[in-house]
Chains A and B, each alone.
Chain A
Amino acid sequence: MSGWETVIGLEIHAQLATRSKIFSGSATAYGAAPNAQANLVDLGYPGVLPVLNGEAVRMAVKLGLALAARIARHSVFARKNYFYPDLPKGYQISQYELPIVADGSLEIMLEDGERKRIGITRAHLEEDAGKSLHEAVPGMTGVDLNRAGTPLVEIVSEPQLRSAREAVAYMKKVHTLVRYLEICDGNMQEGSFRCDANVSVRRTGTRTFGTRAEIKNLNSFRFVERAINYEVGRQIEILESGGAVVQETRLYDPDKGETRPMRSKEEANDYRYFPDPDLLPLQLDEAFIESVRATLPELPDHKAARFATDYGLSAYDAGVLTASRELADYYEAVVKAAPEDPKLAANWVMGELAAALNKENLDVTSGKLPPERLAGLLARIGDRTISGKIAKEVFEAMWSQGVAADAVIEARGLRQITDTAAIERAIDAVMAGNPAQLADYRAGKDKLFGFFVGQVMKATGGKANPAQLNELLRRKLSG
């Protein structure tokens, strides 16, 4: 693949978490019986008219502000015309020439820790279409219009992503952001957050873009990465064998791991956009925009920077802990209850806790281990009641039994031995019982230090304070 540069732009569709649809009063909840959440407006009945949902506007503005974008004081809804059974009116109400949000950006972090700013051309409001169900009725296609009219914000990036990894990092960043803003539930299985990827390749050093293919409807980060990588390979292969890439819309088949042209769209669509005469241009004033700004939470980048500074975390750790607002809140709750060692808290949250949650497919908000309880464990490590190693055992018991650290420590007698005399007694006994090793050590075999540590730990049931043990042992062994 050397000698080629990949150019990717993403169009992310995020369903806005409004209670009702963008132009009607129907509920937007997922999973209802087909067409149970479609009223006359959603069904496109003769004579019905759209009325804009103010909450969707508020959410789009929130996103725009978080992207440091320009919020249009005047934006226009347009009709995008095409026929499809799951598009009841024969047009989709979207925004075309004058979107509500334009010229934003956000920063992604690459694997090497390098930061890269990705431009966001625009974000506009539009309504989602329904769903065609090809399997529901044998020999026929069913139409479910529950999703029709669900508010979407389409976030269009500049073609500044240079690899599938970058594309995924960008998409994850947007995912984090919309969830921070509480404007989208981010549920990718249910299609609440999905994207189309525009992919092209060009010879390294070329300035003009190659012909692009648009891969539609990618609804997992893994699919985005695989689809783009496949597509890049396919395009390079075509170009290297002297062919030309066709500008077309393609679908990713996750079973086969390949993209293929969408059958129904051989010819380019002319959507014949024009301003929707049923909706007045959307006018936003300063006061409204400021009222939305006042509701912005601390944004992920800011939170990560603050975590790094306030808690002495690496940029990487701060990034991981702020990837979701819930995780960040959890971490901060732990630190608040056990403020002595934020770094230790970070290690536990990202390590043991994350692994345990992951294993049971739970979220940090599940409540299975409240942050105060984890803080209780960290406090016992901090005051040297238990060692880090013993703490893992305590954690497991806390996790599986839902009990506090102290209860586990007491019940199992895991309290760490910090009494110098007691540790010294144990060391003496081990030295007495292993004269040969002692002689070897003293003859210069330093490696045997570990052997003695192990023996003393064994004798104390692992409860000797490791730091104290190290110090006392070193002193005693050297005679």
Chain B
Amino acid sequence: MADFHSSTLTQLAADLRARRFSSVELVSALLARIERHQGALNAFISVTRDAALAVARSADRELAAGSGGALTGVPIAHKDLFCTAGVRTSCGSRMLDNFVSPYDATVVARLKRAGAVMVGKTNMDEFAMGSSNETSYYGPARNPWNPALVPGGSSGGSAAAVAARLVPGATATDTGGSIRQPAALCGITGMKPTYGRVSRYGMVAFASSLDQGGVLTVSAADAALMLREMAGFDAADSTSVDTPVPDYVAALAAPLAGLKIGLLKEFFDEGLDRDNEQRVREALRVFEGLGASLREVSLPHLPLSVPVYYVVAPAECSANLARYDGVRFGHRCDSPRDLNDMYRRSRGEGFGAEVKRRVMTGTYVLSAGYYDAYYLKAQRVRALINADFIRAFQSVDVLMGPTTPTPAFAIGAKTADPITMYLNDIYTIGANLAGLPAVSVPCGFVQNLPVGLQIVGPHFSEARVLNAAHAFQRVTDWHTRIPRGYA
């Protein structure tokens, strides 16, 4: 009873079904944990205690009746950019501090239908723009391995909450690495599915062609379970893809022998921390031991990912964030003099510096006279990067490499220089530009800080990617390590 938190999501779901304890007991225990650690971690923007307990009670009735879904009674948290009916959906921004969503995102509705109990909404970089959670209007979430360090971002609150075992799983989104990078920095498993696999409806947009919802969990098996319940075609999202969702859980056990792994040559560059590289290479040897073969693969255009991303993402964001004008919802400045004053001050007050920087960058690259040089060229390079990946997957099953160049860094260390901050996503952005599924799994420690291994697969190969991650986790225990003070 006291060690609910050291159980995995998969185990908790099974225990609930076996009625070893009730959902109310479980949810109450985790709510207490959330409250205890909120001051140190700042992982949550909202905690929905009463609603969670009410849902837990009804989950217990369903469990007693032998009904319910795959996640009935299991507590989870949602990144605060998934719209949740009747609950504030702030996107980590002052702009939406007062915004109570009138509807549920498709992801939220599906997890609800599967029986999951939402306990709260997690902290995040403002509108998912950041790699450290420091751009949040609600202050930075902290890394449970060391509270002086960032948990990564933008899904920093979800990652910190799962790493500290405040919840067994949380939703997250990944536009340039926002699931995988915090997973790596917090020592947990983070899965970004193929673009189009998970509905974006109700997931507040940052960069529409790159955003993809996914999960942060302790293990790949947990990710498989949660993703299976979230994924699938949604008629409300024109970019969601209408192909059946395989049973990711059932696919976990498939043998790994014969798996052809491509080592992403461009990821083992001079920016990669030596110790970090060591841990990744050790992990690759584990895969060899499991019967996989390794070969180096080069994606020549991949080094252009960061510049391409910082044209495409801001361009889309500049339009996506135009709706926050103070007219219908969100922050409106006090006593505007006229329309332009209302726009200027509402947006000036509502948005933080990083959001403004990206809106301005995006506006610039789309402007007459610059569109061809920036936006159009970036789209062409994006197509080349995509082609690089497709070519690589003709000879290998998955690609592997580090998730980040370094382990977690200190709060404040990179805020003065946006470019160094942007470079933290150098290994993750490629998968977003090409829309590929990718997972980060813990693969060791550097100076007591976790390091992540990234596994990227072809489009819609979630089952294969999770299977590889799971095989690794069956023979390693990095993902089971719990930060001191949270065990």
Binding site for B on A (CB under 8 A): 40, 43-52, 79, 81, 83, 85, 88-91, 141, 143, 270, 272-274, 277-280
Contact = CB atoms under 8 A, between A and B. Distances in A.
A40 B323 contact: no
Contacts of B81: 47
A89 B322 contact: yes
Contacts of B316: 277
B237 A83 contact: no
Contacts of B65: none
Interface in B224-244: 235-239
Interface string B197-218: 0001111110111000000000
14 contacts: A40-B103, A45-B323, A46-B89, A46-B204, A47-B101, A81-B318, A88-B327, A91-B322, A272-B319, A273-B366, A274-B366, A277-B208, A277-B316, A280-B238
Contact of B319 (A40, A45, A79, A279): A79
B328 A90 contact: no
A143 B375 contact: no
- If over half of B's interface residues share one DSSP class (helix, strand or loop), that class is named, otherwise mixed; here it is loop
Contacts of B201: 47-49
Nearest to A280: B238
B315 A274 contact: yes
A81 B375 CA distance: 15
A49 B237 contact: yes
Given A46-B83, A270-B368, 6 more contacts: A47-B101, A50-B238, A88-B328, A89-B319, A91-B322, A141-B339
Given A46-B323, A47-B83, A47-B205, A270 B236 contact: no
* Of listed A46, A91, A278, residue having the most chain B CB within 10 A: A46
A85 B339 contact: yes
Contacts of A279: 238-239
Interface of B: 81-83, 89, 91, 96, 99, 101-103, 105, 200-205, 207-209, 235-239, 315-316, 318-319, 321-323, 325, 327-330, 339, 343, 363, 366-368, 371, 375
A45 B329 contact: yes
Contact of B367 (A79, A83, A272, A277): A272
Contacts of B339: 85, 141
B208 A278 contact: yes
A418 B237 CA distance: 77
Contacts of B204: 46-47
Contact of A83 (B82, B325, B329, B330): B325
B238 A46 contact: no
A53 to B, nearest CB: 11
A290 B203 CA distance: 38
A274 B363 CA distance: 11
A46 B102 CA distance: 10
A52 B328 contact: no
A85 B325 contact: yes
B238 A51 contact: yes
A265 to B, nearest CB: 13
B374 to A, nearest CB: 11
A51 B235 contact: yes
A48 B319 contact: no
Given A47-B201, A143-B327, A81 B366 contact: yes
* Of listed B99, B204, B236, residue having the most chain A CB within 10 A: B236
A272 B366 contact: yes
Contact of A278 (B102, B239, B329, B368): B239
A407 B155 CA distance: 85
Contact of A90 (B99, B102, B235, B323): B323
Nearest to A145: B328
A274 B319 CA distance: 10
A196 to B, nearest CB: 20
A274 B83 CA distance: 26
Contacts of B209: 277
Contacts of A44: 323, 328
Contacts of A79: 319
Contacts of B82: 47
Nearest to B201: A49
Contacts of B363: 272
B91 A49 contact: no
Contact of B238 (A52, A81, A270): A52
Contacts of A83: 322, 325, 343
B236 A90 contact: no
Q: Which 9 A-B pairs have the closest CB atoms?
A: A90-B322, A277-B209, A272-B366, A277-B208, A47-B202, A44-B323, A46-B204, A47-B83, A47-B204
A43 B102 CA distance: 12
B366 A45 contact: no
Contacts of A48: 201-202
Contacts of B321: 90
Contacts of B315: 274
A88 B323 contact: yes
B432 to A, nearest CB: 12
A45 B102 contact: yes
A280 B239 CA distance: 7
B323 to A, nearest CB: 4
B90 to A, nearest CB: 10
B236 A49 contact: yes
Contacts of B101: 45-47
B99 A46 contact: yes
A45 B328 CA distance: 8
A272 B361 CA distance: 13
B206 to A, nearest CB: 11
Contact of B328 (A43, A51, A274): A43
Contacts of A50: 238
B371 A274 contact: yes
Contacts of B322: 81, 83, 89-91
A43 B101 CA distance: 13
A247 to B, nearest CB: 15
A47 B105 contact: yes
Given A272-B363, A274-B366, A46 B91 contact: yes
Contacts of B208: 277-278
B235 A47 contact: no
Contacts of A270: 367-368
Contacts of B238: 49-52, 278-280
B128 to A, nearest CB: 12
A83 B359 CA distance: 14
Contacts of A49: 200-201, 236-239
A278 B199 CA distance: 12
B319 A90 contact: yes
B323 A274 contact: no
A261 to B, nearest CB: 19
A87 to B, nearest CB: 9
Nearest to A272: B366
A40 B367 contact: no
A235 to B, nearest CB: 26
B326 to A, nearest CB: 9
A52 B208 CA distance: 16
A40 B105 CA distance: 12
B351 to A, nearest CB: 13
A112 B339 CA distance: 51
Contacts of A278: 205, 208, 238-239
A288 to B, nearest CB: 17
* Of listed A52, A81, A83, A272, residue having the most chain B CB within 10 A: A272
Nearest to A23: B238
A277 B105 CA distance: 19
Contacts of B202: 47-48
